[in-house]
Amino acid sequence: MKIFIVFAMVGLFVLVSAISALSKEPIDPFLWLENIDDPKALEWVEAQNAMTVAELQKHPDYSSLNQKILKVLNSRERIAYPTLVGDTVYNFWQDADHPRGIWRRTPLADYFNPNPKWETVLDIDQLSRQEEENWAFKGAVFLWPSYDLCLVNLSRGGSDAVEIREFDPVKKAFIEQGFFVPQAKGGAAWIDRNTLLISTDFGPGTTTASGYPRIAKIWQRGTPLSEARTLYEGQESDMGVWGSVLDTPERSYVLVTRMMTFYTGQSFVLEGDELIELDIPDDARFSGFFKNQMLVELKSDWIVGGTTYEQGALISIDYDRFRMGERDFSVVFAPAERSTLDGTAVTRDALLVLKLTRVVNELFRCTLQDGRWVEEKVDAPDLCTIGLAETDPFADHYFFSSTTFLCPTSLYYAAGDGTAPKKTKSLPPFFDAEGLMVEQFEVASTDGVSIPYFVVRSQYAEMNGANPTLLYGYGGFEIPMQPVYSPVTGTAWLERGGVYVVANIRGGGEFGPRWHQSALKENRQRAFDDFLAVAEDLIRRQITSPRHLGIKGGSNGGLLVGVAFTQRPDLFNAVLCSVPLLDMQRYNKLLAGASWMGEYGDPDVPEEWAFIRKYSPYHNLVADTRYPRVFFTTTTRDDRVHPGHARKMAAKMEAQGHPFFYFENTEGGHGSGVTNEQRAQMLALEYIYLIQTLGADGLKKERESRTDK
């Protein structure tokens, strides 16, 4: 037996060596850290956490900053954002008394009062204690039009995977023997009172390589989940398959979406017993229905019926006419130079269209008049970021938010009767913005493309290269980075005299699909070059210098800053790398990673690994280079971006002798924690790191002195 084991081990070593030789990459010595709950891995995490906390909490300002951030997060003066359910407003709320949160409601009429009388519907802290689980609330889906039943989504530790339970919001209790779906990535929607459309993990072989469901089924009440009828089945190589039900005043649409990749998919509508595929381009985004108008957002030019519809346009056609073969679409929105569609929503009588021009929003109310789209600009604040906070497809009213870097966020209510929107809620000023200013600059990237960025700073700051500066970026998945009022950034950084910068680099959604697509796959380096160009421009303008320049990014932004510090370690002195992707050779094998190959490419294809390998931070970290002392943060329960990325990068830095900080929260999913206490601790650690590393100690007093003068 011993001889057999020896030969088996030798054989395994030969096999591993052969695989390593074929891939031309050394065997990963830190692969064991990908075992999320392995005792050895958790022991390593605990040791790293202890060292980081011990050092950063020694800073004299740590305790006071932690308490200030916690006070902001627990403030009762925050906006309670509404979810409209008929004439009732629902809201999920966390504060010092409810660290895991309460799901509550109030009549719409009472919501407009300064202090609404909230009624608790579900107490997540109480539920967690009763069931001895670390539950996080992930929303609810109501049965329309009665609203007397709902499906509550609960997550253990804040992960993306949810457990679905049927709930009676009238009795405020879970329904015994009601619909119940075990924890999985997926979801469920009401077809009728006794029927669900469900996508989940139905057992072995029913999920995709990305860990998402690949089958949509119809489930009847009173039958076991195993007997649910299959409506659609995708491929294991797909990103995922999801079902949804869109209720409108005209009719309810039962929908199935198959996503082959993050950016290509098929949409289906159930007509009787037949699932009808919508004949639109795979890369187009089906955006729902309004008055039976089928809405389609184009990600590339589409030639149909002899007409070319432009990339980035929002087009529509009557759904019944579309089914009859007609293809004469109407253009709801046409893109322009540096102007793009930023979102849509519907009320009973209007389609709301949010436009983004030079990273500033405008909101329009669009109506169908004699078959023609007519738009009217909504009287919203100028030069700000607008968010469609909540709409009601069965009534002509809605809420939207308005925010800037320095003006506290406000919530507006629009009744749809022609009267001007009314400000209903507003944040108080959580930090002193006196003497602060916002500038917008542009810089040419390496290929000459102009990259805009925002600078928030004190008007008294001297352009001497000595200003502690935090540069933030993302640059991926067509997500724009826009001005937003951040009480934590203001309190912890701007009040101290720090400079805050947001870069609008390619890969994001600031200027539409073309801006995003220009940095995909083999062109990914463009996003990194844009970010580095902004950093260099900050130094060139003497706003800051490498000694005082820090960078921050999370998720895809974690990859961004990981690349930035490995390619140009000379430019930065601090790096906040949160829930990051870093090992780009294995990212597609970890959790949801396979779903992002449309963004980055497939590292298992040699010609694609060739361009990914050039920037993969984990593979470009070397021993004989001086790097800034990076601070990695992640969460154990992140089931979207695997914590192994941050773990392995930190372990490799440790092996090569590079100093770093590391902190891993045991809860929080793809974020920083479930409770405000957890979030405050991580944020305080991050800002103390920036303050002491970039030289921001004492700047607050200097700013206060100048303001007094």
Active site residues per annotation: 555, 670
CA–CA separation, 575 and 662 (whole Å): 12
Helix (H, G, I), strand (E, B) or coil at 327: coil
Residue indicated by tokens 């008394």: 97
CA-based nearest residue to 361, from 392, 403, 312: 403
Residues facing 242 on adjacent strands:
257
CA–CA separation, 353 and 681 (whole Å): 38
Residues facing 442 on adjacent strands:
452
Q: What angle separates helix 644-656 from helix 39-56, to the nearest 10 degrees?
A: 70
Count of Cβ atoms closer than 10 Å to residue 10 Cβ:
10
**Which amino acid makes up residue 664?**
E
- Strands (DSSP E) contained in 252-292 are 252-259, 265-271, 274-277, 285-290
Buried b (16+ CB within 10 A) or exposed e, 680-709: bbbbbbbbbbbbbbbbbeebbeebbeeeee
Q: Does residue 228 contact residue 195 with C-beta atoms inside 8 Å?
A: no
Residues facing 636 on adjacent strands:
none
C-alpha distances (whole Å) from 151 to each of 141, 173, 284, 437 are: 5, 12, 30, 46
CA-based nearest residue to 550, from 679, 685, 691: 691
CA–CA separation, 17 and 25 (whole Å): 10
Half-sphere exposure of residue 569: CA atoms within 13 angstroms, side-chain side: 14
Q: Does residue 550 contact residue 575 with C-beta atoms inside 8 Å?
A: yes
Provide the sign of the torsion angle of the four alpha carbons 427, 431, 437, 438, taken in this order.
negative
CA–CA separation, 239 and 262 (whole Å): 7
Helix (H, G, I), strand (E, B) or coil at 504: coil
Buried b (16+ CB within 10 A) or exposed e, 24-43: eeeebebeebbebeeeebbe
Q: How far apart are the first and last CA of the chain?
A: 85
CA–CA separation, 188 and 191 (whole Å): 10
Residues in contact with 428: Cβ distance below 8 Å, sequence separation at least 6, in sequence order: 77, 408
C-alpha distances (whole Å) from 191 to each of 197, 198, 217, 501 are: 6, 10, 11, 47
> How many residues are listed for the chain in this entry?
709
Phi, psi of 178, rounded to the nearest 5 degrees:
-85, -175
CA–CA separation, 20 and 321 (whole Å): 58
Helix (H, G, I), strand (E, B) or coil at 250: coil
Q: Does residue 502 contact residue 453 with C-beta atoms inside 8 Å?
A: yes
Residues facing 297 on adjacent strands:
285, 314
* HEC secondary structure over 395-459: CCCEEEEEECCCCCCEEEEECCCCCCCEEEEECCCCCCCCCEEEEEEEEECCCCCEEEEEEEEEC
CA–CA separation, 480 and 457 (whole Å): 21
